[in-house]
Amino acid sequence: MPYSEAFGDHFYCQTDGRLECGHVFLSGNGLPERWQAGGAFDIGELGFGTALNFCETWRQWKTHRQNGAHLTFTSFELFPMSGADIDRALSHWPELDAERVALIAAWPHVREGIIEIDLDARTRLRVVCGKALDGVSAETRSFDAWFLDGFAPARNGEMWSAELMAEVFARTRPAGTFATYAAAGFVRRNLIAAGFTVEKRKGFAGKREMLCGVRPG
């Protein structure tokens, strides 16, 4: 079970991180249903961690994508993990073996700047190394969906700050969405202040609530 000593928190829930990804980040953003429209789709993520969210998203994308559709998954990560640590963490889920092997084969030894990997002809991964606020503020693309997956707000307040949420909103397309496991009051207020319409939904496993929302179109 990967644990961050820097933030004093686990990288994902101890029940089942892969199922949590499906409940919170995919379903919370209306995926995979929204992929039926085809075309290009951009996902932004705060916190790449063990690459679990990316690999589960890629697995489902390969099943549900339309002909000619293209996914770009951009994640902002302060402490990119080594390939060996990602490999060890993801080996818990045999469902992700194909995605894990492909990612580790392409993952660089030097992890700085912007990592860009074309994992197949219609899936590109971008990992922007460094502070999330700096990376998001410098980003030129806009996103259809966001996975807000920093460490717990009480332990990693910078990842949920009003300033960062405003930058996330500014880079969200009209009718674009976000989802997060977090339901702390200040997180909800910061998202609303940024401009999102926010709603509470039932959380995963024993967690009572989660947040999701949309940029009004």
Q: How many domains does the chain have?
A: 1
Domain of 95, in residue numbers: 3-214
Mean of pLDDT over the chain: 92
pLDDT at 8: 55
CA distance 188 to 35: 27
pTM beyond 0.95: the answer is no
The percent of the chain in helix, strand and coil, each rounded to the nearest 5, is 35, 30, 35
CA distance 176 to 189: 19
Q: Is the peptide bond before 32 cis (omega within 30 degrees of 0)?
A: yes
Highest mean pLDDT among 14-23, 125-134, 142-151, 205-214: 125-134
Local confidence band at 65 (pLDDT 50, 70, 90 cut-offs): very high
pLDDT at 5: 58
Percent of the chain with pLDDT over 70: 93
pLDDT at 190: 97
pLDDT at 110 over 60: yes
pLDDT at 6: 57
Domain containing 77 — which CATH number? 3.40.50.150
